[in-house]
Amino acid sequence: MLKIGLIGPLPPPSGGMANQTLQLASLLRQSNIQVELIQVNAPYHPMWISQFHGLRAIARLLPYLFQLWRVSGRVNVFHIMGNSGWSWYLFAAPAIWIGSWHGVRVVLNYRGGEAGVFFERSFRWIRSTLKRVNQIIVPSGFLEDIFSRYGFSVSIVPNIINLSRFSPQGRSKNLATTDPHIVVSRNLESIYDIPTAIHTLKAVHRQFPTARMTIAGSGAELESLQALAHELELSDSIYFTGRIDNDSMANLYDSAHIVLNTSLVDNMPISILEALASGVPVVSTAAGGIPYLITHRIDGLLTSLRDAEALAACIIELLKNADLRNRIISAGLDKVRQFQWDSVRPKLFAAYGYSTTDDRYNLSQAGSGAA
């Protein structure tokens, strides 16, 4: 039987990678795969260690390494949810080396819109570790292109969306353009450029003065964003929800007329996929991998970065043009079907070297991701 060591973050905090890790574990178990979860963001013990940066890194790293070593003796495959920056060095790289030393098949699931910058700065330190990987998988053509520039071949295995969570029925017929609701579902961090979203609402108000915005996410920029909303006289039109759970997120999409994404760096945002699955049209910046996901004027509208006026113009056009809105909603629903489990599972099992017909795995099926 195939036994997977699944290595990645878990909620809380909520986030694309954490939610994908948890969802993947559940889906693999439903497919009769044994899964051992190794959490890279496990709680600190004791909690007071979290106040000291250097000490807390060691306090989390040592138990993590011990768990990697122990689990590597019980599984056939390490599935590693990898990312850029310190997360790579502290969590992904040790898992790759320990899995390789123990003869475990190593599948690196690399994510994150900052891969290009990270590779440019640090690839000489990364290359030797990547050569220990049996199979590299990425969720988008954007990351496939980055890896190919550095001589590594990868397979695209899309993010997974549970379509049953969302209710797109009747979305195209029930838009109340006199009181539009715009949803922003990103954390309050600089790379997501929430200030531009707030300025976008201000511009939308010139034609739709009762438009309102819900910003669903948490982060260090909350106070500055609330101050900006107050400065622009939008305090009564913007609601900051903080972190919300998956069920509440589905309900929020159900109330939305537009989903707005203003990120500066991105790969394949789960929030955009969830909007498509909910039958909500998306207006987004063309950051990173988003143009690989959204085709302008086909299944969404794209603009340049930090351009609140252009984003507002797209929102206003969708609110006024029912034909365009309905075409985009329909195309988005068609596109998101490729992200459901039944579509993703064969690609993922191929990366594992696993055959569902005879319940076999083949560790020699694929070698290093190096071209």
What is the pTM (predicted TM-score) of this model?
Answer: 0.88
Q: Are residues 310 and 208 in the same domain?
A: yes
Residue 195 belongs to domain with CATH number: 3.40.50.2000
Q: How many domains does the chain have?
A: 2
Q: Both 114 and 75 in a single domain?
A: yes
Residues 123 and 172 in one domain: no
Same domain, 142 and 168: no
Q: What is the pLDDT of residue 371?
A: 43
State how far the Cα of 354 lies from the Cα of 336, in Å rounded to an integer. Answer: 25
Strand, helix or coil for residue 135: strand
* The dihedral sign for the CA sequence 270, 136, 337, 267: positive
DSSP letter at 44? P
Task: Provide the domain limits for residue 144.
Answer: 3-160+340-361
Measured distance CA(321)–CA(305) in Å, rounded: 24
Low-confidence ranges of the chain (pLDDT < 70): 13-15, 46-48, 50-55, 169-177, 356-371
Q: Are residue 151 and residue 82 in the same domain, yes or no?
A: yes
Q: Residue 312: inside a domain, yes or no?
A: yes
List Cα–Cα distances, 144 to 113, 140, 152, 217, 346, in angstroms: 12, 6, 9, 29, 19
Do 296 and 237 share a structural domain? Answer: yes
- pLDDT at position 179 is 87
Based on the fold, state whether residues 199 and 146 are members of the same structural domain: no
Please check whether residues 295 and 356 belong to one and the same domain.
no
pLDDT for res 245: 84
Write the pLDDT tens digit of every residue in 323-332: 999 999 999 9
Per DSSP, 340 falls in state S
* pLDDT reported for residue 167: 82
Cα separation values, 300 from 137, 261, 283, 293, 366, Å: 26, 11, 6, 9, 37
Is residue 146 domain-shared with residue 15, that is, in the same domain? Answer: yes
